[in-house]
A and B are shown apart, each in its own frame.
Chain A
């Protein structure tokens, strides 16, 4: 039994508590619904812990400021919603290119454009993957309930430091604003990853962009003994711009490989009753709660239904989806968009015919009846 307090709080607040647990000490942000509470709570909590909170003039400035702060050795985060996330894309690419550990929270709302500010959507799955220009890999995590928001937020910081990369936490309005119970983990209960710092002594040539054999790059804090260059241009192992095809090729391969080669390490997911299921629901975020309700409800009536809940959206765990869905007759992807994850599930399953979509795109939370109606259609039972 944990001696930590049991809290009845909002999803956005859980993200705050988890970020502090993971060691967050610098946050820059710009308020936008439905992510605002993250900034509000951190403005009070961070200075209490000796950390820094700054409300910048816009979202672009916010992500730029956390990149700067990360370089001095801080654990950093910003939080936003759809339109703000769009504004951050260029600097997100910079953080990928310059390999800056950072966490970017996007509490999704309806879109495109200003869309539905106070309504739910899961429409930013592909923006998280491909919003910034150029070829790259990305890590994007999500969650459907408070304990998982806590876990995935801590994991986001751990992965950011492990892989020297920005990590996106893609929540949605419902999980962000929902209130439910959270039992805070004890200090030390969850592993916390600190960034790898170089052991190269002062005066010895330091290569900030020369990966070790395991692909990791030890860092040196700005203001420390090693002076080096950080740029968004293609750069050599010292961080200086280069036009060499070999350097460009090597860098891009490194950026992609360090994440794609670790899909199995990064993949987080949950399965419910999938082993004997002939119909598997695949879902994530708040819609996975409705999907789980359907599975539990229909199992009682003897239907062989299972749920695969994805918590890592990118890199997409194709192998896991493939193996979990291998013996299912139908796969139904439950999401609040036009099928952004469904496209990946189709690739994984390798068949267009058995993958279906149960979705809502009207800003209204997808409920178990919506999913049940789609299932009846697929099963030829009518609505």
Chain B
């Protein structure tokens, strides 16, 4: 079956800028879903606010376009009340880790079964190019005209420390790897985090003289190495790609089913 079946074609062409990485992520996500063979009625996609979050409008699933930063909280309500549904939560870097940082760490701590996809383009695109918690020191943004002094989060370390049972990172350059990782993340039972390094040529690339989409994707190729590779050992300054955590931890809805069992015995 073609992935065209999974999109709402009447909303295309999409609203993303030419060269934006988000379309690549959408593509990888849809291919992963196709491979998994999940029925459309069993998927709920919840997003927040921002360029990334417009994804929910483009896909033919049950879709919930929420308020800024709170996608994981909405998704928690959906998942806990209907544990049989597959929850996929695409978020931007601000959505997931600035305004939504608290929900991110607590969803990871609970290990509730959903797939959080952090579409990290290191900038606030929809509001026109302000720095994000993933921008990193030294970058230029409309709110960092003298260069950014905020340290960046490392999404992988943060998600791991907060207790996510599946944590991975890839980029829009490495589409095959990305698709594989998203497939594994959705299959994983527990809270899965996939950080996808993505390019925003319009606001990040232009301001920081990284060139257009092609140049930015090449930079992602050059600046990342496979996890545990020889290259990673020799160049610790490079960013690692791959699956960092994949462990079996009791899942929240399963645990809650046991709470119900205990409560009913006590009656």
Contacts and interface: CB of A to CB of B under 8 A. Distances in A.
Contacts of B82: 72, 222-223
A64 B49 CA distance: 14
Interface in B64-104: 64-67, 70, 73-82, 84-85, 102-103
Given A54-B76, A223-B85, A227-B62, A61 B103 contact: yes
Interface residues of B, number: 40
A26 B81 contact: yes
Contact of A241 (B57, B70, B75, B84): B57
A224 B44 CA distance: 11
A360 B264 CA distance: 46
Contacts of A47: 256, 259-260, 262-264
B42 to A, nearest CB: 7
A227 B40 contact: yes
Given A47-B264, A229-B57, A241-B57, A222 B65 contact: no
Given A69-B81, A74-B81, A240-B11, A57 B74 contact: no
B267 A68 contact: no
Contact of A65 (B56, B74, B84, B85): B74
User: What is the predominant secondary structure among interface residues of chain B facing chain A?
Assistant: helix
Contact of B62 (A50, A52, A91, A228): A228
Contacts of A62: 73
A106 B220 CA distance: 50
A303 interface: no
Given A227-B62, A229-B57, A61 B263 contact: no
B80 A65 contact: yes
Contacts of A26: 77, 80-81
Contact of A223 (B42, B75, B106, B266): B42
Interface residues of A, number: 43
Interface string A225-256: 10111111100000011000000000000000
Contacts of B65: 229-233, 241
B40 A52 contact: no
Contact of B73 (A65, A223, A229, A241): A65
B41 interface: yes
Contacts of B224: none
A64 B57 contact: no
B78 A68 contact: yes
A227 B256 contact: no
B78 A227 contact: no
B66 A94 contact: yes
B63 A227 contact: yes
B73 A61 contact: yes
Interface of A: 25-26, 28, 44, 47-48, 50, 52, 54, 56-58, 60-62, 64-74, 76, 90-91, 94, 222-225, 227-233, 240-241
Given A229-B63, A233-B65, 12 more contacts: A26-B77, A57-B103, A60-B73, A68-B76, A69-B78, A72-B81, A223-B82, A228-B62, A228-B63, A230-B65, A231-B65, A241-B65
